[in-house]
Amino acid sequence: MISVNGNQANSLIQVRGLDKTYRRGNEDIHVLQGLNLDVDQGDFVAFMGPSGSGKTTLLNLLGGLDLPTRGSVTVAGDEITHMSRRRLTQWRARHVGFIFQMYNLIPVLTALQNVELPLLLTRLSRAERRRHVETALAIVGLSDRMQHFPRQLSGGQEQRVAIARAIVADPTFLLCDEPTGDLDRKSADEVMDLLQRLVNEHRKTVLMVTHDPLVARIAKLTLHLEKGVLVEAGARQDAAAGAVS
Amino acid sequence: MLLKLLFGLGLALAAAAALLLLLLIVGGILAGLLAPFLGAVPVSYNFRSLRVRWASTLVAILGIAGTVGVFVAMLSLAHGFHATLVASGSPGNALVMRAGSTSEMMGGITLDSIRIVQDKPGVAHTPAGAPLVTQEVVGVIPIPLIRTGTDTNVQVRGVSANVLQIRKFVQLAQGRMFTPGLDEVVVGKNALQTYRGLALGDTLHFGGVRWKVVGIFNAGGSAFDSEIWCDARILSQVLQRPPDIFQSATVHLTSPAAFQRFKDAITSDPRLNLEVEREVDYYANQSSTMTRLITVLGGLVALIMAVGAVFGALNTMMAAISERGREIATLRALGFSSWNVVLSFLFESLLIAFIAGLLGCLAVLPLNGWTTSTMNMQSFSNVAFAFQITFGLLSLGVAFALVMGVLGGLLPAVRAARRPVALALREL
Ligand SMILES: Nc1ncnc2c1ncn2[C@@H]1O[C@H](COP(=O)(O)OP(=O)(O)O)[C@@H](O)[C@H]1O
Ligand SMILES: [Mg+2]
């Protein structure tokens, strides 16, 4: 179950009292302020919020790419906010699959080599790696594009290769930062179908940032980032209704 | 006191810094070369990145290749000069000069002394019983260079008629040996090619005498190939030297092992005030000044070029990492460690350096065997010698390239790895 109250026990991802303050010049920018979040295995949650509200910041903290000013992030019992940078790097390789708005494929590597990258950090043999890559590319429907370079693929295909790369090492959860932000409607629908299938058929856990309400609707729950904390869409409407009455 | 302490401290610090730099270079090269085994980022990433950024890669390659070329050329020049002079000495020959002389030019041995020397143990003899000793007189005469027409000093050596039995590697290539007592000369093959008017049958004027060129000899690429040989007695007269005084005697020994016995016999003889040296050692010493000069000058030029080349490589690698900031951040996000990133970029920079090193070596390879000439600082005469490029020098050239590569690549590699991931991911 997804919750923003911070009172859930034993959820897969537990975020407690997360603060993130950036310093720009003499000014402190308080982006996240006491944010709580619980996400269970197999959940699919969408984060929405205006530009600059801290969505990317939140994903970076959840994925161990950055450290919070205060608070904790615990994933499957590991508190990542106190890990050394070295351990954090290893933890990312093992537990997180990243999907970016601009795909972030390595342009000089083929689709196959891009997808293989996370496996190079495992002990798998060459043949086993190849098998995993083929499976991942089959899941995203690009088995016939293995030897293509990113520039030989459409945006939608590139993002599907990126998704294959994110799932190939079977991470604990996927973090998607506006995965359809640079795609046309049709490609966006394909990518969303794919993410939905990953959740429904492969029991993946997906946390996604999006601007697009149509995209957000596919998630099980949409959370809004407001003034540094997360609020449920329903709760916000209630609050708004309460304010009017 | 305090000053001395400070000086010592400074010296120790400098030594420590130098050691650290050396460790960094060696460690960097080793790590970079082993990156395909130590690191996780695939090397195809580096190969293809270099190809995609070919223009910038080429600039770095040319800078390093040019430096390596100059470096190897200079070393092969020094090596060729050294080899030419060393080839002039035979291990089975001993050179006898007046005690205290460092060069043949300064010698002075009387005929009486030479007669005593001839009878010493260790001196080889012909089957007929004649001692194998050549007593020699050397001088320099000006002859124009074929290439420029300007005069240069050419060494003329008066020798004994049996000289070919003593310097066995010297062979007549054309014509015949000079006849003792006649105004005839034989000319070394490099002298023939370098100086004017020395062909077989030509007449040469010096010392008021008309000399006829009756033979051309091949001295196996040694310094003798740049000389003109004639009868020692006639040369002595013509140069108006005192009669029966020679500058050196070269003795053919019964075996190279007989040297010590021969030397001891001479130095312990109270009648003689002579110095004995192996012929090889004499020529090796003669080459050292010039060899050092070429090496130091060449090293200096190469060093200055290397500074430029390192900055070229640095610039290329800096541009590479700033262009690929988001790629690097992506790799880091996927779980590649900063160490992996350092290794990958070190490898890439060493790859550039290695290709450049090979290219630089390849570029100077045609120089191998190419003959040039210079003044021998000891005899003040011109010596022809060839560039000698050896496998060892080529390896040194490639190693030099790798040093430049690691110096240019280390800083960018570390910078790439240290950049915060979250920040770099926001770059476009
Ligand atoms: N490294 C940083 N230094 C300073 N300010 C930053 C940094 N990263 C993000 N910010 C600021 O934090 C706020 C939230 O940014 P971000 O998480 O990217 O928002 P979103 O993804 O919702 O658009 C923005 O005002 C942004 O300018
Ligand atoms: Mg964002």
Q: What is the ipTM of this complex?
A: 0.93
Mean local confidence (pLDDT), B257-263: 89
Q: Minimum mean pLDDT among B37-51, B235-249, B398-412: which range?
A: B235-249
Side chain identity, residue B187? V
Q: Minimum mean pLDDT among A155-169, B6-20, B115-129, B205-219: which range?
A: B115-129
pLDDT score for A208: 97
**CA A22 – ligand 2 centroid, Å:** 15
Domains of chain A in start order, with CATH, are: 41-64+93-240 (3.40.50.300)
pLDDT score for B381: 67
pLDDT score for B369: 77
User: Can you state the percent helix, strand and coil of chain A, rounding each to 5?
Assistant: 40, 25, 35
pLDDT score for B377: 59
Phi, psi (deg, nearest 5) at residue B233? -65, -40
- A7-27 pLDDT, tens digit each: 888 899 999 999 999 998 899
Question: Candidates A27, A57, A100, A226: which one to mutate for ligand 1, based on the most atoms within 8 Å of Cβ?
Answer: A57
Structure token digits, residue B133: 């000793």
- Cβ–Cβ below 8 Å for B333 and A92: yes
Question: Candidates A19, A22, A209, A224: which one to mutate for ligand 1, based on the most atoms within 8 Å of Cβ?
Answer: A22
- CA dist B190 and B385 (Å) reads 9
- A99-110 pLDDT, tens digit each: 999 999 999 999
pTM for the full predicted model? 0.81
Residue A147 has pLDDT above 90, yes or no: yes
Residue B380 has pLDDT above 70, yes or no: no
List, in order, residues 6 or more apart from B277 with CB less than 8 Å away: B94, B95, B97
pLDDT score for A148: 97
Q: Minimum mean pLDDT among A33-42, A94-103, B374-383: which range?
A: B374-383
- pLDDT above 70 as % of chain B: 97
Residues of B with CB under 8 A from a CB of A: 40-42, 44-45, 48-49, 51-52, 326-327, 330-338, 420-422, 425-426, 428
Task: Tell me how far the alpha carbon of residue B140 is from its chain's centroid.
Answer: 25
Residue B85 has pLDDT above 90, yes or no: no
Alpha helices in B89-186 (DSSP H): 111-118, 163-166
Residue A245 has pLDDT above 60, yes or no: no
- CA dist B285 and B283 (Å) reads 5
Which of B330, B334, B422 lies closest to A93 in CB terms?
Answer: B334
pLDDT score for A176: 97
- CA dist B134 and B250 (Å) reads 5
**Structural Rg of chain A based on CA atoms:** 18
Atom of ligand 1 nearest to the CA of A24: 4
Sort out which chain A residues have CB atoms less than 8 A from B336's CB and list them.
Answer: 89, 93, 117, 121
Q: Minimum mean pLDDT among A195-209, A229-243, B89-103, B179-193: which range?
A: A229-243
Atom of ligand 1 nearest to the CA of A225: 22
**Is the pLDDT higher at A117 or at B208?**
A117
Structure token digits, residue B61: 């390659």
**CA B118 – ligand 2 centroid, Å:** 98
Q: Which residues pair with B370 in a beta bridge?
A: none
Ligand 1 binding site (Cβ under 6 Å of any ligand atom): A 22, 24, 29, 31, 49, 51-57; B 423
Please answer whether residues B84 and B222 qualify as being in contact, where contact means their C-beta atoms are separated by less than 8 angstroms.
yes
Computed over every residue of chain A, the mean pLDDT equals: 92
Which of B40, B326, B330 lies closest to A120 in CB terms?
Answer: B40
Categorize the per-residue pLDDT at A237 as very low, low, confident or very high, splitting at 50, 70 and 90.
very low
Categorize the per-residue pLDDT at A243 as very low, low, confident or very high, splitting at 50, 70 and 90.
very low
Closest residue, chain B, to A121 (C-alpha): B40
- CA dist A162 and A93 (Å) reads 15
Please answer whether residues A222 and A48 qualify as being in contact, where contact means their C-beta atoms are separated by less than 8 angstroms.
yes
Computed over every residue of chain B, the mean pLDDT equals: 88
Q: How far is A60 from chain B (nearest CA, A)?
A: 7
What order do you get walking across the sheet with A96-99 strand by strand?
A96-99, A173-177, A206-209, A44-48, A221-226, A229-232
pLDDT score for A242: 39
Residue B280 has pLDDT above 90, yes or no: no
To 10 degrees, what angle do helices A85-95 and B325-334 make? 80
Q: Minimum mean pLDDT among A126-130, B106-110, B347-351: which range?
A: B106-110
- CA dist B161 and B231 (Å) reads 7
pLDDT score for A30: 94
List, in order, residues 6 or more apart from B139 with CB less than 8 Å away: B155, B156, B158, B235, B239
Name which of B327, B330, B427 to mutate to probe chain A: the one with the most chain A Cβ atoms within 10 A of its Cβ. B330
List, in order, residues 6 or more apart from A61 with CB less than 8 Å away: A18, A20, A32, A67, A68, A73
Question: Candidates A23, A56, A176: which one to mutate for ligand 1, based on the most atoms within 8 Å of Cβ?
Answer: A56
B380: left (phi over 0), alpha (psi -120 to 50) or beta: left
